[in-house]
Amino acid sequence: MTLRRFAEKVGKPSVFPSVKLSTRLFYEHNLTTHILPVFGEVPLRSLTRDGVQKWLHGKFSAGMSWNSVRHLRTTFGTLLNAAELDELIRQNVVKKTRLPRRIHSEEPPLVSLDDLKSLLKELPEPFRSIAGLLILTGLRIGEMLALRWCDVDLTAGTLRVRQTVYEGQFDTPKTKRSRGVVPLSPIAVQILGLQKQGSGTSLIFSSATGTALCRRNLLNRRFRPTAVRLGLKGFNWHWLRHATVSLLAAAGAPLGTVQTLLGHTSSEVTREHYIHAASSESRNAVGRIEELAIDPNGPKSGRRPKSPKL
């Protein structure tokens, strides 16, 4: 059996539907665009570790990002796991491959307060409210668009993340940590209070017919054109998540607090992808190093070293 035939008979109808819709569509894109054009006509038992390894390195050498190569490997490996379980192959050769050496890219630029103010000023309602709440809560866009009035307690100043929405289909949030109570600031409560009040399971932000808004249309038709007009480079939904973390870091929020608010499963995810702003604790530490290195007498006893003025 060739890889293409197995993908059509088993992978697409049985394996991929077991994951979330967004992941399934991503897997199918990787399969159709990258994997099948190269390995589609190869019999399953003829796939080799060296062949897959050269292909992965070739993708990376051609300019594909390390993360994209990793996702290709995951998609391919998931498909061959099913073939191994069905005893169509003796072993999953993709598991034996290694990813190329990772070259860390430059950290994304800090999102300034002026950029945020400019964006919020230019966006019309209800898009201004959506952006403001994303920044103030750290929610993912799918979680924000899936919020219902029964999820919000304006008196207590909290909201509960119960669902996410993608391509009109509702599902559980991305991680278990996402499903929790999120505190609302007074301004966030005010923003929600100004929305057209619904009740029960009606969506807070919806189309004229009450259906969920499309994140792709919001980005391409409303948010990105505004960002381009303002000169904000690289704008996407993660840009707003970066904005949240920049503000939390500037306020001196501990890493654990940032992790909780963003719904990450581990602090490493938070640190790797989002922590790129110097917190007040970091500034104090740098100030102490400066005093120890420059002052021959060392820090004065009983006195806390001053942080450098940046």
Q: Is residue 266 part of a domain?
A: no
Q: Is residue 293 part of a domain?
A: no
Neighbours of 181 (CB within 10 A): 12
Number of domains in the chain: 2
Tell me the three state secondary structure of residue 199: coil
Q: Is there a single domain that holds both residue 61 and residue 92?
A: yes
**Among residues 234, 266, 301, which one ends one of the domains?**
234
Q: Is there a single domain that holds both residue 132 and residue 230?
A: yes
Q: Is residue 154 part of a domain?
A: yes
pLDDT, position 172 = 85
Q: Is residue 105 part of a domain?
A: no
DSSP 62: T
**Among residues 216, 234, 252, which one ends one of the domains?**
234
Q: How far is CA 251 from CA 120, 157, 209, 244, 310, in A?
A: 20, 20, 40, 11, 16
Q: Is residue 303 part of a domain?
A: no
Q: What are phi and psi of 183, to 5 degrees?
A: -70, 145
pLDDT, position 197 = 73
Q: Is there a single domain that holds both residue 128 and residue 195?
A: yes
161 contact partners, CB below 8 Å, separation of at least 6: 139, 143, 147, 151, 173, 178, 179, 180, 182, 263
Residue 231 contacts residue 112 (beta carbons within 8 Å): no
Q: Is there a single domain that holds both residue 138 and residue 91?
A: no
| Calpha distance 31→12 (Å, rounded) | 10
| Calpha distance 243→151 (Å, rounded) | 24
Q: Is there a single domain that holds both residue 122 and residue 31?
A: no
DSSP 110: P
Q: Is there a single domain that holds both residue 154 and residue 69?
A: no
pLDDT, position 16 = 82
pLDDT, position 131 = 93
Which of 83, 84, 81, 94 has the alpha carbon at shortest distance from 53? 94
Which of 129, 152, 127 has the alpha carbon at shortest distance from 214? 127
Cα 163 → chain centroid: 16
Long-range contacts of 295-298 (CB under 8 A, 24+ apart): none
pLDDT, position 291 = 59
Q: Is residue 223 part of a domain?
A: yes
Q: Is there a single domain that holds both residue 127 and residue 72?
A: no
| Calpha distance 23→44 (Å, rounded) | 24
* Domain region containing 149: 113-234
pLDDT, position 104 = 63
- Find the helix or strand (DSSP H, E) in which 164 lies: strand 164-166
Q: Is there a single domain that holds both residue 153 and residue 212?
A: yes
pTM of the model: 0.68
The tokens describing 187, both together, are: 């301004």
Domain of residue 141, CATH code:
1.10.443.10
**Among residues 234, 267, 285, which one ends one of the domains?**
234
Q: Is there a single domain that holds both residue 89 and residue 174?
A: no
Q: Is there a single domain that holds both residue 210 and residue 166?
A: yes
Q: Is there a single domain that holds both residue 140 and residue 83?
A: no
Q: Is residue 267 part of a domain?
A: no
Q: Is residue 291 part of a domain?
A: no
Domain of residue 61, CATH code:
1.10.150.130
Residue 93 contacts residue 48 (beta carbons within 8 Å): yes
List the pLDDT tens digit at each of the 310 positions of the chain.
999 999 999 888 888 887 888 888 899 999 999 999 999 999 999 999 999 999 999 999 999 999 899 999 999 999 999 999 999 999 999 999 999 988 765 555 567 788 888 999 999 999 999 999 998 888 899 999 999 999 999 999 999 999 999 888 898 887 665 567 888 889 999 999 988 777 789 999 999 898 999 999 999 999 999 999 999 888 888 888 877 777 776 666 666 666 666 665 555 555 555 555 444 445 455 555 555 565 555 555 455 545 444 4
| Calpha distance 42→3 (Å, rounded) | 6
Question: Cis (ω within 30 of 0) for the bond into 100?
Answer: no
DSSP string, 205-273: SB-TTSPBPPHHHIIIIIIHHHHHHTT-TT-SHHHHHHHHHHHHHHTT--HHHHHHHHT-SSHHHHHHH
